[in-house]
Each structure stands twice: as structure tokens, then as C-alpha cells.
A and B are shown apart, each in its own frame.
Chain A
Amino acid sequence: MKRLIIGCGNPDRGDDAAGLLAARRLRELGCQAVEYTGEGTGLLDFFEGTAEVVLVDAAVTGAAPGTVHVWESPSALPQREMLGGSTHHFGIAEGLRLAAALGCLPQKLVIYGIEGRSFGIGEAPSPEVIRAVEEVARRIASGHAPSGGPCAR
């Protein structure tokens, strides 16, 4: 059964890099993880023929920076305004909802949202987010998700 870990974000927009950093850290930990820009429609291509997806992205909910949110589909999807620091209007949250409307969400989807603080152009990610990236990467690598098994090595 095909499984995929996707880290989304923009490397040049401060805490928006969270997902990308998680994917890089996961590879260091021996997992296969891809980095993705976060364009919503392209997400559906990843889902094709994939049974389990773990997605990591920056989040904005008003929680403390570095807070780790976990959404599990299909029971819960993040609200539109919660994911990413993108000014583009068809991002990850919209891509997930479109996939749900088209019935092509993977059987199991776990989304880790790392609460960001600052998304300025050219900024470095904040220390809270860097700590949270490490935590999320270790949780995924140790098999916390998906399906409680270890990640594909």
C-alpha cells in the first residue's frame, strides 16, 4: 500500500518553511518525504494511487507559535484560513476540500499543522517553529503516523 509524506511551504517566507524543514529532517531520519510548494490542485496528483498520506504545513490559528495541530481526515480537515502563509487563493486547504468533493482523498490522511509566528519575506523560521519541526519529524519517524507503523524507510 503506497504511503507518502509531504512537507509543504515556501523556503523564503519565514515560518511558512515549516513543512519543508520537516520533510528534510524526516529524510535525515531515514524516511522518504517529498517537499512541495503547496499549490492546491497539484496535491490531487500526489493522492492518486496513494492510500496513506502524512502532510506537514505551517498553520495560523491564533495558538502559540510552535503549537502542533493534528487533523485526521476524513473526520476533520483544517479550515481554509488555518494552513500556510500563502497569498495564493488555492492552497493546501482548498486542495484538500476539492479532493474531498471529488472523492479522491487518500484512505488515511494525517495533517500536521505547525503554528507559525512570522511569515516575512526572507525571514528565518522562528525558534519555536524549528523546535516543533523536530518534534513533528520525530513523531512521524517513530511511527506515530500514519497507521501507527514506522515510516517507509
Chain B
Amino acid sequence: MNVTPTAKGTRTVKVDMLARVEGEGGLLIRMKGDRVQEVKLNIFEPPRLFEGFLRGRHFSEVPDITARICGICPIAYQMSSVHALERALGVQIDPAVRLLRRLFYCGEWIESHALHVYMLHAPDFLGYQDVIEMAAEHRETVEKALRLKKIGNELVALMGGREIHPVSAAVGGFYKAPRKRDLEAIREPLRWALDASLETVRFTAGLAFPDFEQDYEFVSVSHPDEYPFNEGRIVSNRGIDIDAAEFEEHFIEQHVKHSTSLHAVVRERGSYLVGPLARFNLNYEKLTPLARQAAADAGLAPPCRNPFKSILVRAVELVFACEEALRIIDEYEPPAAPRATIEVRAGTGAAATEAPRGLLYHRYSVDSDGLVTAARIVPPTSQNLKRMEDDLWRFVPQLASQPVEEITWRAEQAIRNYDPCISCSCHFLKVKIERE
């Protein structure tokens, strides 16, 4: 962190490298007196170019390539890509495959949320530099967090062949469907994880939340019967209710000079929020009774407009993910075939699913040979980047009387409300062409 005295009365908060976020970014806040003059989330993660190099690849390669976008949420990338390609190719999936995909997603939510709640975000609330410092005084809590995360990883490995960048997901289903007894092996660990998740709700409910609320436009996938993972319309609290195919009519991505990630906005409205808070507020009724009860006991009810409470919502989603995984394992009967037969045809398809950190949109066009001719990926973090900056514009003035160190601490905490995955969000390359 640098504190730069500049003009009289001007203070600058500069975090060269944000810690406890995935990927590489920095933060600049310039204040004059109590007024914020500039907020910039500088994203300097190198561009990833996935959309470019997916072109010309066979559609069947896409889930394995997109899984490489993120080591924390590869399943989200696989799921959005398989759903979009299945829509492009007109593929219907077996109901058992659909259930397995939800189970797969449960594993990712458990490992990702456990990591973020305890290891990345809790130290902010408890006044520790990091989880290592926190572990010295909260040993049992950190041990529990590690076990919870591990159970999520085990579920992912069980479904995907390995924990990171799993290899089982295919357009049309899975390369191999698990046997019933394979899944039953993780039932007991998941029961423990459910109890640990309920404790996580109680733990996070005891944290001190800054008094800060914003009038957000919340955006998430929404399904008539289910808390959203893989399927549903895209909805918002300001009237958006669209099929994923219409996403690009309503949401646009803009280049900003200080970021290799694009900033997304609702067309003619501005920033919006995706992620746990949006899912919770827009889909509260679809949570299980136990998850709703845990939320109520923690004093959490929709609409929750305090972004710092996203840690509490993640804990509630942990309860949901564990219960949902247990339900699926109880009901599971292997599909007749692990994946549908695909008749290749030219087409375009779009889909959105719910990554742990929010809505993830993919669109693909394929030609009659099944080769990708166009790809578009809009990750949750790039959708939230402008919203993060907007939060800081409004939150930092509340801290104006504090020392710069305290402002810095709180500003970083405010960014981590969004569990940003900067690596995933960078896919923009600025090309400069000079002609004489």
C-alpha cells in the first residue's frame, strides 16, 4: 500500500496488488477532503483470449478448454459452455444427467464458498492480515473450513475425475456417469458438511457488518422450482425477465482504460450486481426450508442490500448446496446413457448458469462440421467490476474521517464482498493498428 500526499488536503489510497482475490488487480482511490475524486480498480491481469482461440475448435473440445479459465470455478465454465452448445446443436439431455450437473455444481459452490468465507473474507471482519494469522487464534474454525472445502473438492473430483479442471463434462452429458455406490461414499462427509455449513451461518451472523446499503439492480438466473444453478431465465429486480438468448440485447460490455477486463452494464441503466446477494434476493423462496430457517435465525431476509452481508449469504448457500447434494444422491439413478447422441448441425446457442460468484454467460456459433465460428464469454467478475467501483464511490466517503490505513482496509474488504475472480474476467485485448 502507498499513501501519497499530493495537493493540500488530498489523500490517495493506492493498493498496488490486491491480496486475497484471485488474479491480479490494484486499486486507486483519490480523495480531496471528504470527497472522493477518483476510484479505479486497475485490472492488469494479462488478457486471456479464450474467445479468440475457441474459434475453429470442435465443439466437443470446448468444455475442456473453458474449464481452464478458472481453477476455482471450472465447473461453471464447463456448465455454461455445454448448455450453450446443447442449445446450438438442439441436444436434449437425460433428466439424470441434469441432476448430476446440479450435483457437480454443488461441489463447486461448497469448495469455492468455504474458501472465500473463511480464508479470504473472514480475516477482513476479524482484523487479521490473512487466514494464517487468523489460524493462530481460531484454529478449530480454520480446520473446519479446510475440511468443508475439501469435501467440496472431493465431490468435484468424484464427479469430474479430478479436483481442478475436471475432465468428465461433455456436450450432451458426461463421458462417464458415476455409479450409485460411488456417490453414496460421500453421503456421510456431506452430512458433516451440512452441520458445518449451519455453523458457518452462525459464525458469519456474529460478524460486525458496516452500515452500508445500496439500491442495487440484482441480476441472476431464476428457475420456477429450483434455486438456480444450470437452468432458467435471466431476471432482475428492475423488470428484466429474458431468455439467455436475449442477454446481449440487455447487457453490454464496455472497455475502460484502466482494466484488461471489460465492464458490463445494463443497457441505458448502468451497473448491476450478480452473485450470492442477487441469487438470494431473487430466489429466496426456492431455498430449502432449512436454509431459509438458518437465514432467518441469522437475521437475514430478502431484500438484503448490504454487500458486506454477502459472506452471510454465502454461508446460507453452503447449507443449500449441501442439502441439495444429499437430496440428489438419495434420488440418483444412473442415466441409461451417460451422454446424448449428437447430430451435428450449424447453429447458435446461448446459456447462463450460476458460478459461485454470479451469473456466467456463454454464447457459441458452430458450423455444419461442428467447428466453433464465434464465442462470447461474460464472466461474473467483469459484470461486477463497475458495481465494485460504484460501491467504493459511495462507501469511502463514510470513512473519510478515518486514517488512510483504515480506509484501505475497508475498501479492500468492500471489494472482497464480490469474491472477485480477476483471472476469469480478463479476456480483452486492446489492439492498436497504425496506418500511414
A contacts, CB < 8 Å to B: 37, 39, 41-42, 44-45, 87-90, 94, 97-98, 101-103
Contacts and interface: CB of A to CB of B under 8 A. Distances in A.
A89 B19 contact: yes
A98 B131 CA distance: 8
Interface in B234-278: none
Contact of A37 (B23, B24, B146, B164): B164
Interface in B68-108: 71
A98 B138 CA distance: 12
Nearest to B45: A87
A39 B164 contact: yes
Contacts of B146: 41, 44
A91 to B, nearest CB: 12
Contact of B149 (A41, A87, A88, A98): A41
Interface of B: 19-24, 45, 71, 115, 119, 130-133, 135-136, 139, 142-143, 146, 149-150, 153, 163-164, 423
A101 B22 contact: no
A87 B135 contact: no
A102 B147 CA distance: 13
A93 B120 CA distance: 16
A24 B335 CA distance: 39
A38 B155 CA distance: 20
B143 A102 contact: yes
Given A88-B71, A101-B133, 4 more contacts: A42-B153, A89-B22, A98-B135, A101-B135
Nearest to A94: B132
Nearest to A100: B132
Contacts of A103: 139
B132 A88 contact: no
A101 B136 contact: yes
Contacts of B423: 87
Contacts of A37: 164
Nearest to B22: A88
Contact of B20 (A39, A42, A89): A89
Nearest to A41: B146
A102 B139 contact: yes
B121 to A, nearest CB: 13
Top 3 A-B pairs ranked by shortest CB distance?
A: A101-B135, A97-B132, A98-B132
A41 B111 CA distance: 11
Contact of B21 (A89, A97, A101, A102): A89
A52 B133 CA distance: 25
Given A37-B164, A39-B164, A97-B132, A90 B119 contact: yes
Contacts of B149: 41
A94 B423 CA distance: 20
B426 to A, nearest CB: 11
A87 B150 contact: no
B38 to A, nearest CB: 26
A41 B131 CA distance: 11
A44 B21 CA distance: 21
Contacts of A44: 146
A87 B132 contact: no
Contacts of A90: 119
B150 A102 contact: no
A44 B147 CA distance: 10
Contacts of B115: 41
A97 B119 CA distance: 13
A102 B19 CA distance: 21
A131 B423 CA distance: 33
Given A89-B20, A89-B21, A41 B119 contact: yes
A102 B142 contact: yes
A41 to B, nearest CB: 6
A89 B421 CA distance: 12
Contacts of A88: 22, 71
A43 B224 CA distance: 41
Contacts of A97: 132
A101 B164 contact: no
Contacts of B139: 101-103
Contacts of B130: 94
A102 B21 CA distance: 23
A102 B135 contact: yes
A42 B149 CA distance: 10
A90 to B, nearest CB: 7
A90 B23 CA distance: 11
A87 B421 CA distance: 12
Contacts of B135: 98, 101-102
Nearest to A104: B143
A39 B23 CA distance: 14
A90 B112 CA distance: 13
Nearest to B164: A37
Contacts of A39: 71, 164
A101 B143 CA distance: 11
